[in-house]
Amino acid sequence: MKTAQALPPRLLDAGESGLVVEFGDTIDEQVNREVIALADALDALQLDGVCEIVPTYRSLLVLFDPLVLSREALRGHVLALWPPRADGRPSHGTRHGPSHGTGHGTWRVPVAYGGEHGVDLDHVARLHGLTTGEVIDLHSRAEYRVYMIGFAPGFAYLGGLDEAIHTSRRTDPRLKTPPRSISIGGRQAAVSPPLEIPSGWHLLGQTPVRTYDPTRAERPFLFAAGDTIRFTPVPQAEYAALCRAAEAGEIIAEWEPA
C-alpha cells in the first residue's frame, strides 16, 4: 500500500507563468526535505524557460516563461523526477547543487544575546521558569534547519527550536524590530535580514551576519533552504568587532559543507 508521501504531488497553476508543486499541508522535516530535493533536481536540469525555483515549507513554486517552456512540458519534468530523493541527492542519479552553488551544509552564526540586542530574552526566561543563561543554552545548542527564505529579503525560517522554549507569538506585534534579529515564534526560530521589519516574534539577540546583501554579486542571499544553522553566543566586544568586519564586506558566518 502506498504511503501519502509516495503519491504524486498536487500540481496547481499559479497564474500564467507559475506552477505550484504541493507536497502536504503541515510543517514537517521529511516533507521539506522532499521539497528541497525536488528543487535541487529541477535546478540541476537547467531547463530553458525556468526563471526561478522557490521552495517553501511544504511546496515548491516554479516560475517559468510560457513562451519558452510549456506548462505541460514542465509538469512532465516534475513528474519524471518523482519521487525526489530526500537524502540530499536527487532522483535518477543526477549530479546537482542548489542555486547558491555550494551544496547544503552548516552555517555557524555568532549571536549577542539579551540586553539591547535581545529585549525579549528576560520575558521568555520568566515565561518558562528558566534563567536567561538556560534559554541561551537551549537556543544555541540546537541544530536548525532552514525551511524557507521569505517574508523579507533573506529572512530565514528555521525548524529545530527546543520544545522547552516554544513560545507563542506576541499578541502585539512590533511595527519595527532591529535589523539582524535572532527571534523565536511558536515552534520556529528565525534570522532577520539587515533591515528594520515588523514582527510578532520574540527577540533573543542580534547577529552581525548579513543574510541579505545586494552588493555581494555572487551570493546576495547567504542562506538557502535545506541548509543547517548553529548559533554561537559571543560577548559584546566581539560582537562589535564582528559588526565592523561585516560592514567592511566580510561574511562572518562560518560555512561547513555537508
Q: What was the pLDDT predicted at 6?
A: 56
- Does a cis peptide bond (omega within 30 degrees of 0) precede residue 83? yes
Phi, psi of 214 (to 5 degrees): -65, -15
CA atoms within 13 A on the CB side of 197: 21
Q: Residue 166: CB partners within 8 Å, gap ≥ 6?
A: 184, 186, 187
Asked if 195 and 153 count as a contact pair (C-beta separation under 8 A), the reply is: yes
State mean pLDDT over 213-225: 90
String of DSSP letters for 4-58: GGGSPPEEEE-TTSEEEEE--SS--HHHHHHHHHHHHHHHHHT-TTEEEEEE-SS
Amino acid at the residue 145? R
Asked if 152 and 193 count as a contact pair (C-beta separation under 8 A), the reply is: yes
Asked if 180 and 210 count as a contact pair (C-beta separation under 8 A), the reply is: yes
Amino acid at the residue 231? F
Rounded distance, CA 254 to CA 21, Å? 33
Q: Which residue has the cell 559588526?
A: 243
pLDDT tens-digit series, residues 85-142: 655 443 333 322 334 444 689 999 999 999 999 999 999 999 999 999 999 999 999 9
pLDDT tens-digit series, residues 28-41: 889 999 999 999 99
Q: What was the pLDDT predicted at 52?
A: 94
Q: What was the pLDDT predicted at 84?
A: 75
Question: Taking the domains of the chain in order of start, what are their residue ranges?
Answer: 4-93, 105-257
Q: Residue 4: CB partners within 8 Å, gap ≥ 6?
A: 24
Q: What is the pTM of this model?
A: 0.84
Same fold, 4-93 and 105-257: no
CATH fold of 4-93 reads: Gyrase A; domain 2 (3.30.1360)
Cell numbers linked to 35: 521539497
pLDDT tens-digit series, residues 140-170: 999 999 999 999 999 999 999 999 999 999 9
Q: What's the CATH number of domain 105-257, 3.40.50.300, 2.40.100.10, 1.10.645.10, 1.10.10.1200? A: 2.40.100.10
Q: What is the mean pLDDT of the chain?
A: 90
